[in-house]
Amino acid sequence: MALIKAFEKRVSVRNFTDAPVKKEDVKLMLEAVQLAPSGKNRQNWHFVIVEDRAVIEKIETAVRKKNQILAACIEDSDKKRKFEKFVEYALVFKRAPVTVLVFASDYHPTGVNEMQAAGLAEEASQLERTAPGIQNLGAAMEHFCLAAADLGYGTCWMTSPNYAAKEIQESLPLELPGFHLVAMTPLGVPGQIGERPKRKKIEEISSWI
Residue 26 belongs to what domain range? 6-191
C-alpha dihedral, 182 to 168 to 96 to 37, nearest 10°: 20
Answer yes or no: is 89 within a domain: yes
Answer yes or no: is 115 within a domain: yes
Answer yes or no: is 200 within a domain: no
CATH of the domain at 114: 3.40.109.10
Query: What pTM does this model have?
Result: 0.93
Answer yes or no: is 199 within a domain: no
Answer yes or no: is 66 within a domain: yes
Name the 3-class secondary structure at 155: strand
* 179-188: strand order across its sheet: 45-50, 98-105, 179-188, 154-155
**Hey, what amino acid is at 60?**
E
Q: What is the pLDDT of residues 121-135, one digit of tens each?
A: 999 899 988 899 999
Tell me the C-alpha distance between 99 and 134, whole Å: 20
Number of domains making up the chain: 1
Q: What is the pLDDT of residues 51-106, one digit of tens each?
A: 999 999 999 999 999 999 999 999 999 999 999 999 999 999 999 999 999 999 99
